Amino acid sequence: MKIATIGLGYIGLPTAVMFAKHGQEVIGYDTNKEVITRLQSGFIHIEEPGLQKAFQSVLANGRLRPVNQLEKADAFIIAVPTPHTADYSCDTRYIRQAVSDVIPLLETGNTIILESTVAPKTTTDVIKPILEAGGFMVGRDVHLVHCPERVLPGQIMTELVHNNRIIGGVTPECAIAGASVYQTFVKGEMLLTDASTAELSKLMENTFRDTNIALANELVKLSAELGINALNVIEMANKHPRVNIHAPGPGVGGHCLAVDPYFITTAAPEQTPLIQAAREVNNHMPEYIADSVERITNKTAKKIVILGAAYKGNVDDVRESPALKIAEHLQQRGMEVHVYDPHIACYNINPEKAFANADLAVIATEHEEFKHLPMRLLKSMANMQIFDTKNIFEGEHEKLTYITLGTLHRFVNRPQLQS
């Protein structure tokens, strides 16, 4: 089987590699010429454990070819970005362009698979009409499928194989065709359904998590006000066999949790007040963290070092990153802010310079490197204080003041200096 993967980002590239690794002929196409050039030279442009080695292997044996121009194939997998528009609805321009690029290459029996996360009914109401305008009857001439990715950055190479896959066909025959493509390597269950159900299922998976995190973040604010350790509350509540409160944090980022719920709320705003409220809670968390920094330092802080720029630990993805939003809020309040992230080139600054004379270090990303910080860095601070919004730090020192979202109440309720 020959497979063309369109879009070689955080999902498209690992997917292309996985198909090639399991014996398929794969071409990888991206409109970013720099990405293609880098891949052709043997180097990936994203950080994902195990991906570089696997990519080099399939590049060397010719199973995967990064190309500047699309070719005919048996299956076309579209994994392009779907950002939100100004009103937070789903921006389908990259998808529409990809489908238009595929049409001249289509032959009877081909399968077009959309992996990009989209608003409900995008497959049937946006993609299907484009194909039919190009002269192809979906379900008869070609198969059209929505198969959303369901992987966790940092574990993509494992989860691509072992996670269940939702195969949403425009027709039952389309779903069967889509399943035949993924069965080349997927060991999880194939869940065949219609395209619109597949779209909404993916959105609700991330909306569930976003809403649960919002509940935990609201608990942090409530507990800080009442003088209670929120993390202890969560630990106790989760001892109940049917309770699973998620971990609170400085907000949510990435394309999924920070964006996907909007694809639902903009499609049906009157029916989604709870989802909208959860979005507001999580959107406000970076500002709340900035407020807390002021209260922890009694509004005397001049320099802050933020540890992490990525939206989650051990990856290099800064999309919708709460850490960067915290930095913006603190800079707006007149503080000198240094953002240090060893996983991202532009933020991999000199840590000695970042920590020197800092009044507070804020752990905003759960990178492995931040679980233990060199004592020389902590001792160089003006005040040896860590505000750990991820509850990951494992070091200790008698002079270190360590604050988490659980112990925040000890600092935000004390008398404050007048501005």
CB contact set of 350 (below 8 Å; sequence gap of 6+): none
Query: 254 vs 101, 147, 316, CA distance in Å?
Result: 27, 19, 11
User: Of the listed 21, 202, 312, 325, which one is catalytic?
Assistant: 202
Task: Give the Cα-Cα-Cα angle 69, 75, 80 (nearest 5 degrees).
Answer: 60
Q: Does the annotation count 202 as an active-site position?
A: yes
In the numeric block, the tokens 């493509």 are attached to 181
Alpha-carbon distances of 95 from 53, 67, 102, 112, 370, rounded to whole Å: 29, 19, 11, 12, 38
317 to each of 18, 224, 341, 363, how far by Cα in Å? 21, 30, 11, 16
* Of 90, 147, 174, 256, catalytic: 256
Max CA distance (Å), the chain: 73
Distances 287 to 90, 164, 292, 327 between C-alpha atoms, Å:
26, 37, 9, 10
Helix axes of 273-296 and 322-332: crossing angle, nearest 10 degrees: 50
Helix and strand numbers (H, E) in the chain are 16, 13
256 catalytic, yes or no? yes
Are the C-beta atoms of 68 and 27 separated by less than 8 Å?
no
Residues with catalytic annotation? 202, 256
